[in-house]
Amino acid sequence: MSRIFITGSTDGLGLAAARTLMKEGHDVVLHARSRERASAISEISAAALGIVIGDLASATETRSIAEQVNAIGRMDAVIHNAGIYLERSRGETPDGHAKTLAVNVLAPYLLTAWIARPDRLVYLTSGMHRSGSNALEDIDWKKRPWNASQAYSESKLYIATLAAAVARHWRDVLSNAVDPGWVPTKMGGAGAPDDLEMGHLTQTWLAASGAGAAKVSGRYWYHRQQREAAAEVSDAGFQEALVGRLAGLTGVRLFDERG
């Protein structure tokens, strides 16, 4: 059985993934933004391997999350599930970043750098990534007028690209991006048309399945089917440019000269 950490696992797809993996007998480490959020899932957290607390909008708290996970032990897989959708304004995180960028991109980037390297990494993206701009000059929205939908789309382009960059650099890790579809979660809304179950079962399958089809890397998935991502995602030049921008914004370098 595997040991798996899931960010944003107090509700929605993250909680559904946690329940599924625990039912399958895996050891799951949950994540909540606050102690209040953690108390809302006390029933499932009691059966989990552990629960870590921290706000992904803060680099300091993200570092604490990584330390809490590492203290539990090395994970076999990490599912970067947490994300935010249409923020009314750019916001201002404690580190001065746009909140959408901080939670959806910078936090998984930092956790990838700081959590002991697992065997598998799963990053949640969205079909909306295809509408994201590949211009990286203002990814933190300091110059452009705020556009919530565009900011979200770009964040999902960046996270799919990060998944592909990790797959290219870390050959010993299976790294994949998952589009769960437009599913009826709190984020997606009650009227969302996609299959909620398939939305989370693709994550759990890639994180823990022994099937050969799940043991691949650098792919983009939708409902357990490989799909074509936007061209930028597999472009090594765009990957390096993005990772360089993220390193500049966070002060943390993910890849060294050896990969």
Q: Which residues pair with 42 in a beta bridge?
A: none
On whether residue 256 sits in a domain, the answer given is no
Our answer to whether residue 215 is catalytic in this structure is no
Sequence length of the chain is 259
Residue 163 lies in a domain: yes
Distance, in Å, from the CA atom of 252 to the CA atom of 255, rounded to the nearest integer, reads 9
Is residue 251 left, alpha or beta, with left meaning phi > 0 and alpha meaning psi from -120 to 50?
A: left
Q: What's the domain count of the chain?
A: 1
Q: What is the pLDDT of residues 66-106, one digit of tens each?
A: 999 999 999 999 999 999 999 999 999 999 999 999 999 99
Distance in angstroms (rounded) separating the CA atoms of residues 256 and 259: 5
What pTM did the predictor assign?
0.94
Q: Which amino acid is at 14?
A: G
Number of C-beta neighbours around residue 259 at 10 A? 11
Residue 81 belongs to domain with CATH number? 3.40.50.720
The catalytic residue among 85, 109, 123, 152 is 152
255 in a structural domain: no
Structure-token match 């929605």, residue found:
12
Q: Which domain holds residue 64?
A: 3-250
Q: Is 152 a catalytic residue?
A: yes
From 123, 156, 158, 220, active-site residue: 156
Q: Is 166 domain-assigned?
A: yes
List, for residues 105-160, the tens digit of each pLDDT value: 999 999 999 999 999 999 999 999 999 999 999 999 999 999 999 999 999 999 99
Distances (CA, A) of 242 to 64, 101, 134, 152: 25, 13, 9, 16
Does residue 100 lie within any of the structural domains?
yes
Tell me if 179 sits within 8 A of 83, measured CB to CB: no
Question: In this structure, is residue 234 part of a structural domain?
Answer: yes
Structural domain contains residue 257? no
Alpha-carbon separation of residue 174 from 10, 97, 177, 183, 221 (angstroms): 25, 29, 10, 25, 13
The mean pLDDT value for 207-229 works out to: 96
**Structure token pair of residue 7:** 């960010």
Residue 191: inside a domain, yes or no? yes
Is residue 142 classed exposed, middle or buried when 0-12, 13-18 and 19+ CB atoms within 10 A define those classes?
Answer: exposed
